[in-house]
Amino acid sequence: QLNGGATIVVLGASGDLAKKKTYPAIFKLFKNGFLPEKTHIVGYARTKMTHEEYIQRISQYIKVPDNEAAKKQLNDFLAITSYQSGQYDQDEGFQNLETYISKFETDSGFAEGNRHRIFYMALPPSVFIPVAKGIKKNTYSANSINRLVVEKPFGMDSESSDHLARELGALFSEDEIYRIDHYLGKEMVKNLMTLRFANVFFGQIWDRRNIENVQITFKEPFGTEGRGGYFDEFGIIRDVMQNHLLQVLSLIAMERPISTDAEAIRDEKVKVLRCIPPIQLEHALLGQYVGDGEKPGYLEDDSLKNKESVTPTFAALSLFIENERWEGVPFILKAGKALDQAKVEIRIQFKNVAGNLYKNTPRNELVLRVQPSEAVYVKMNNKHPGLSFQTIQSEMDLTYNRRYSEMSIPDAYEALILDVLRGDHSNFVRDDELDAAWKIFTPLLHKIDNDKIQPKPYKYGSRGPEELDQFIEKYGYDRTGSQ
């Protein structure tokens, strides 16, 4: 538990993100005793709501067991929350917020230096800047530690992202800004550094001499139902690849940081991103799902306005890192909505065994399953047990819910909000990282948007466009051992 006290202001408190992610995560931190001794949570949004309506709205997604102790815990949590309505572009609402927070700080007797004001912006991008301005002008306290938590989208391309960065940068220092990429809060993504740098054998083989290709896959079994309005503007590349999958890639590919300090880690991530030239359209396969007879296709989504949209809901991209460690090794990013399953995994495929004594042994693979059900496993060739000299491919398997069944894995948001309270930036995106990430994707995104590149159709619930296997094989992936 942290000393002192904190006010967490959830801006956009009536929105989906706040309800589904932010509040449940703060509740878990509260339940597990991780919030500072004295904490108050203020929801802020435009909607006028009574305290009861607000409580009803935020508790909807907080699941507690049906027993008295758990219910008490929830009530204790709700007792430290409150709601203020106000506009996003007028001073008045933020002034009221200021009055409210300072009263709480004074009444609680926080010592200076031990007061935290966390402004969590769970907001649509159109109001990022007005809200940041409103906070800075009216609700920023020089006697407190102020932190601004921002959620993607951080722009649509390099230019809009630069604009946002400049505007935010004029108001808050980089040290005060926490750009959330919730993939950085996921257990297996956080494990990447440990695996690479705390195991002598992985460190030794982590390069172009031993690795043939790397695949990072994101699959969701549902479409954009109801989110068509937002999604159509962004598409799958902006929605999950430029951020989540690229962050994972940078942790796989970066050099060893000089320490585990946030800036040391982020320095290395930026360096490796800067070694990736912009992706060319010829290294991209784009798809859009169509109905399967039962489930509607993307273009049939009621929330979608442009019924002739060519926005990709699936993409497979191949990236190359031009440095000594990785030259020539394809990093294949694949992401799609409305696919056959829910899965996020990293698959590192090693080279063929040189001078192999055995015929047709599949390549070794190291697989990190990010979700569901975290696991690390290595596919290796073993002697087929018994009176046989055949080989059999088997797994050395570390499945978390078997090996660590006693330990609970925090939700990404829970881990990240705790980092914000502790002032640890390691799992947040720095401005130069964001800039480097956009540079890789912007030319491709502009080309797709301007030339209205037609995506390949794939059926709802399928593995993606039928060209997918060929695409992956083109970048050297050998499917012999895959399953």
List, by residue number, the catalytic residues.
Answer: 244
Instruction: Output 124 or 476, the one with its CB closest to ligand BG6.
Output: 124
Instruction: Output 62 or 171, the one with its CB closest to ligand BG6.
Output: 62
Distance of closest approach, residue 411 Cβ to ligand BG6, in angstroms: 9
Q: Which runs of E-coded beta strand occur in 24-159?
A: 38-45, 81-85, 115-121, 145-151
- Judge residue 72's burial from the number of C-beta atoms within 10 Å of its C-beta, 0-12 exposed, 13-18 middle, 19 or more buried: exposed
Q: Helices 262-273 and 431-451: crossing angle, nearest 10°?
A: 30
Q: Are 430 and 169 in contact (CB under 8 A)?
A: no
Instruction: Output 239 or 374, the one with its CB closest to ligand BG6.
Output: 239
Distance from chain centroid for Cα 169: 22
Distance of closest approach, residue 182 Cβ to ligand BG6, in angstroms: 6
Distance of closest approach, residue 230 Cβ to ligand BG6, in angstroms: 8
Q: What angle do CA 58, 429, 42 make, to 5 degrees?
A: 25
Distance of closest approach, residue 430 Cβ to ligand BG6, in angstroms: 19
Per-residue contact track with ligand BG6, 402 to 421, x per CB under 6 A? --------------------
Distance of closest approach, residue 139 Cβ to ligand BG6, in angstroms: 27
Instruction: Output 286 or 321, the one with its CB closest to ligand BG6.
Output: 286
Question: Cβ neighbours of residue 27 under 8 Å, at least 6 residues apart?
Answer: 62, 74, 77
Cβ-closest position to ligand BG6: 239
Judged by CB under 6 A, the chain residues 329 through 348 that form the site for ligand BG6 are 344
Instruction: Output 344 or 437, the one with its CB closest to ligand BG6.
Output: 344
Does the bond joining 330 to the residue before it have cis omega, within 30 degrees of 0?
A: no
**By the rule CB under 6 A, 25 interacts with ligand BG6:** no
Give the ranges where 139-179 is alpha helix by DSSP (H).
Answer: 158-171
Instruction: Output 182 or 269, the one with its CB closest to ligand BG6.
Output: 182
3-state SS, one letter per residue, for 48-70:
CCCHHHHHHHHHCCCCCCCCHHH
Q: In terms of Cα–Cα distance, which of 468, 220, 458, 460 is closest to 336?
A: 220
Distances (CA, A) of 327 to 212, 245, 316, 321, 330: 11, 20, 20, 6, 9
Judged by CB under 6 A, the chain residues 158 through 217 that form the site for ligand BG6 are 182
Residue type, 146: N
**By the rule CB under 6 A, 301 interacts with ligand BG6:** no
Judged by CB under 6 A, the chain residues 339 through 398 that form the site for ligand BG6 are 344
Instruction: Output 75 or 401, the one with its CB closest to ligand BG6.
Output: 401
**Looking up tokens 């055995």, which residue turns up?**
358
Distance of closest approach, residue 220 Cβ to ligand BG6, in angstroms: 6
Q: Are 150 and 177 in contact (CB under 8 A)?
A: yes
How far is Cα 246 from Cα 242, in angstroms, rounded to an integer?
6
**By the rule CB under 6 A, 239 interacts with ligand BG6:** yes
**By the rule CB under 6 A, 268 interacts with ligand BG6:** no
DSSP strand pairing (365-371 vs 375-383): antiparallel
Instruction: Output 240 or 420, the one with its CB closest to ligand BG6.
Output: 240
Instruction: Output 321 or 346, the one with its CB closest to ligand BG6.
Output: 346
Q: Are 16 and 49 in contact (CB under 8 A)?
A: no
**By the rule CB under 6 A, 240 interacts with ligand BG6:** yes
Over its C-alpha atoms, the chain yields an Rg (Å, rounded) of 24
Q: What is the DSSP letter of 184?
A: G
Question: Which residues does residue 215 pair with via DSSP β-bridges, in sequence order?
Answer: 332, 347
Judged by CB under 6 A, the chain residues 84 through 113 that form the site for ligand BG6 are none
- Judge residue 445's burial from the number of C-beta atoms within 10 Å of its C-beta, 0-12 exposed, 13-18 middle, 19 or more buried: buried
Q: In terms of Cα–Cα distance, which of 216, 287, 223 is closest to 465?
A: 287
Distance of closest approach, residue 49 Cβ to ligand BG6, in angstroms: 26
How far is Cα 157 from Cα 437, in angstroms, rounded to an integer?
10
Distance of closest approach, residue 103 Cβ to ligand BG6, in angstroms: 36
Distance of closest approach, residue 387 Cβ to ligand BG6, in angstroms: 47
Residue ranges binding ligand BG6 (CB under 6 A): 182, 220, 239-240, 344
